Chains A and B, each alone.
Chain A
């Protein structure tokens, strides 16, 4: 991590901040697409350094947040089978579905284990052959390659008690759907670093051209983010939107073709429901025919049930950048990190949770004030 230290030093960030202040000639709204960017912006206090006219909006890039209640319900339904152990990424377990979360299921007796990678889930399946290990496959192009590699490994080793519930999503289709919304008022996109490492910076070219929108691919250190913002301001000033890759130490123009190959081998694109955004064509990944024996839903006979968004929850508008978290009537009152209602409050990288934790704004501007602890 030593190499990252330079990207956090004030000697590098201070001139970038000064340049941002100098360059900003009119108010701009920039969407950071990725949840890890949202986290980093809060964690390093970047907002507190930016000039007033520069507004940062958080997009749909928190994988836990956009997983719809219908999928959470399916994970919980799987957890209720006595022979099933759910092996999941940690931050998924508190995400509420329409009938509670995996954490609630665990408290009621279900076996739910936190793993750090899908390969750990496969190892669990090898160690406990009498149980069915079900891995909720969530995330974007970032987690999809390792999940695909795990499926291929399970197939190679002939492991029959490892299953996934395919809920992966892909970013370009969601961005396209978002940008096609005439109500979306955004002047530039800070494009995700991890996703871009897989799909490549050029994946954003069609969006930049079609919507005349500046794109900057950025890493997650403060200097990366500030440089990305500066690039977007300059693109806007020059009225020449393009795709600027400022994260060349990880992202190439065409991305990681091997990872792309793994995804394509195992998964096929399909329509997918996003929490707060609805169903977006071709934005999800489902198992291809040769690998459908790993399909947990099929194996357990679970079908996805349509669900309603919680009443009053404005996560959809927040994910689209239409509202800031305190504009939601539930924020800080009915919906807090301890008792999340909407998905944006659940994961630490969810916009509302990050806002609640780091901004100091604890009450909704629209609704009843939060109860004081």
Chain B
């Protein structure tokens, strides 16, 4: 492999190679003036409202998978974390930790993806950092993004706000991302064109909050741990019980098949472009219709309701009418032997 086709420790040294990487790669793709100034920090201007901040690190393996890549996840994931408190994202940082020897072409592919996603979402990368660590000290590439957003005073969306009788809506099909990654890792091809669902949700949330923000009580994206774990967190934080109905859960048939083959439960697999919306019952139908009209939410479904009760319990009514308690995920989801 030619020396200039891989990332070396020099690229993270702060010297000439670093500068070449910045001007030859990052500035080729990132157009935001604050970033192009190459100052020590970016100035964002003045905004009215509450400032929201969220950070997340991305270590997904494989780096490229059906429907996305690590760069796309890094942009969407942080945007979505801001959106889940009803904040409008305004800026992102991008920090890379790269393993020595990482192919330059893969880095360019990732940076191009980050740039494209940030542009499509209308949220600029305003500052960044690159470190290169010796071979074996990191696994190919890790990305951290931090996002800044502004939230209106007109709502108070939080995981603590679910109330008895509220409706529980999920904005689309479940487990697409998780099963895509698990089957990629297993080298298994699954049918039905299943791919990661990674997508930004801030526009859909924006549209929801424009209508009647007081009706929306909780927004959460069920990423790691899946729907079941996220609902458990909400039930705990809000001190309520939650009942959902298996029959109403939107899960693609091919995802169900793959889960059965590998021995995984789709309720515990990650999603990267879906959110749980808990809203006042009287608003449920309007919320559902609005979400379904957006491309991000066309498969949205009303899946259950908030109950009073002793708090912290999530109950699934199974297709055959049985009841099953859903627990938070413990450890990693592991495929079963048979």
Whether the pair B322, A1 counts as a contact (CB closer than 8 A) is no
Whether the pair B338, A45 counts as a contact (CB closer than 8 A) is no
Whether the pair A1, B187 counts as a contact (CB closer than 8 A) is no
Whether the pair A10, B336 counts as a contact (CB closer than 8 A) is no
Contacts of A142 in B (CB 8 A): 338
Q: A1-B253, A120-B187, A357-B327 are in contact. Are A9 and B319 (CB under 8 A)?
A: yes
Number of chain B residues close to chain A: CB under 8 A? 29
Whether the pair A222, B256 counts as a contact (CB closer than 8 A) is no
A92 interface hit (Cβ, 8 Å): yes
Q: Which of A8, A49, A116, A356 contacts B262 (CB 8 A)?
A: A116
Whether the pair B335, A139 counts as a contact (CB closer than 8 A) is no
CB distance from A124 to the nearest CB of B (A): 11
Q: How far is the CA of A143 from the CA of B338 in the complex (A)?
A: 8
Q: Which of B187, B260, B320 contacts A49 (CB 8 A)?
A: B320
Whether the pair A45, B188 counts as a contact (CB closer than 8 A) is no
CB distance from B62 to the nearest CB of A (A): 15
Q: Which residue of B lies closest to A339 (CB)?
A: B330
Interface 0/1 of B76-88, CB less than 8 Å to A: 0000000000000
Q: Which of B256, B313, B325, B331 contacts A358 (CB 8 A)?
A: B325
Q: How far is the CA of A90 from the CA of B261 in the complex (A)?
A: 13
Q: How far is the CA of A194 from the CA of B260 in the complex (A)?
A: 14
Q: Which residue of B lies closest to A12 (CB)?
A: B320
Interface 0/1 of A191-222, CB less than 8 Å to B: 00010000000000000000000000000001
Q: How far is the CA of A236 from the CA of B124 in the complex (A)?
A: 71
CB distance from A342 to the nearest CB of B (A): 15
Interface 0/1 of A121-163, CB less than 8 Å to B: 0000000000000000011001100000000000000000000
Q: Which of B321, B323, B330, B335 contacts A91 (CB 8 A)?
A: B335
Q: How far is the CA of A305 from the CA of B327 in the complex (A)?
A: 37
Contacts of B336 in A (CB 8 A): 89-91, 347-349
Q: Which residue of A lies closest to B267 (CB)?
A: A43
Q: Which residue of B lies closest to A349 (CB)?
A: B336
Contacts of A347 in B (CB 8 A): 336-337
Whether the pair A90, B313 counts as a contact (CB closer than 8 A) is no
Whether the pair A138, B257 counts as a contact (CB closer than 8 A) is no
Interface 0/1 of A82-122, CB less than 8 Å to B: 00000001111110000000000000000000101000100
A26 interface hit (Cβ, 8 Å): no
Number of chain A residues close to chain B: CB under 8 A? 44
Contacts of B320 in A (CB 8 A): 8-10, 13-14, 44-46, 49, 222
Q: Which of A2, A46, A47, A139 contacts B338 (CB 8 A)?
A: A139
Whether the pair B253, A338 counts as a contact (CB closer than 8 A) is no
Q: Which of A47, A138, A143, A348 contacts B322 (CB 8 A)?
A: A47
Contacts of B253 in A (CB 8 A): 1-2
Q: How far is the CA of A91 from the CA of B253 in the complex (A)?
A: 25
Q: Which of A2, A93, A338 contacts B334 (CB 8 A)?
A: A93
B169 interface hit (Cβ, 8 Å): no
Count A/B pairs, Cβ under 8 Å: 101
Contacts of A120 in B (CB 8 A): 187
Q: How far is the CA of A43 from the CA of B260 in the complex (A)?
A: 12
B181 interface hit (Cβ, 8 Å): no
A276 interface hit (Cβ, 8 Å): no
Contacts of A143 in B (CB 8 A): 337-338
B316 interface hit (Cβ, 8 Å): yes
Q: Which residue of B lies closest to A50 (CB)?
A: B322
CB distance from B291 to the nearest CB of A (A): 27
Q: How far is the CA of A93 from the CA of B335 in the complex (A)?
A: 11
Q: A116-B262, A337-B330 are in contact. Are A48 and B335 (CB under 8 A)?
A: no
Whether the pair A45, B323 counts as a contact (CB closer than 8 A) is yes
Contacts of A14 in B (CB 8 A): 320-321
Whether the pair B319, A44 counts as a contact (CB closer than 8 A) is yes
CB distance from A103 to the nearest CB of B (A): 9
Q: Which residue of A lies closest to B259 (CB)?
A: A1
A-B contacts, 19 of them at CB < 8 A, read A1-B253, A8-B319, A9-B320, A10-B321, A44-B318, A44-B319, A45-B318, A46-B320, A89-B335, A91-B335, A91-B336, A91-B337, A116-B186, A142-B338, A222-B320, A337-B331, A358-B325, A358-B327, A360-B313
Contact surface of A with B, Cβ cutoff 8 Å? 1-2, 8-10, 13-14, 36, 42-49, 63-64, 89-94, 114, 116, 120, 138-139, 142-143, 194, 222, 336-338, 347-349, 356-360
Closest 9 CB pairs of A and B: A45-B322, A90-B334, A90-B335, A45-B324, A13-B320, A337-B330, A45-B318, A89-B337, A1-B257
Given contacts A91-B263, A94-B331, could you give 12 more A-B pairs where the C-beta distance is less than 8 Å? A1-B257, A9-B319, A13-B321, A43-B324, A49-B320, A89-B337, A91-B335, A91-B336, A91-B337, A94-B334, A138-B337, A348-B334
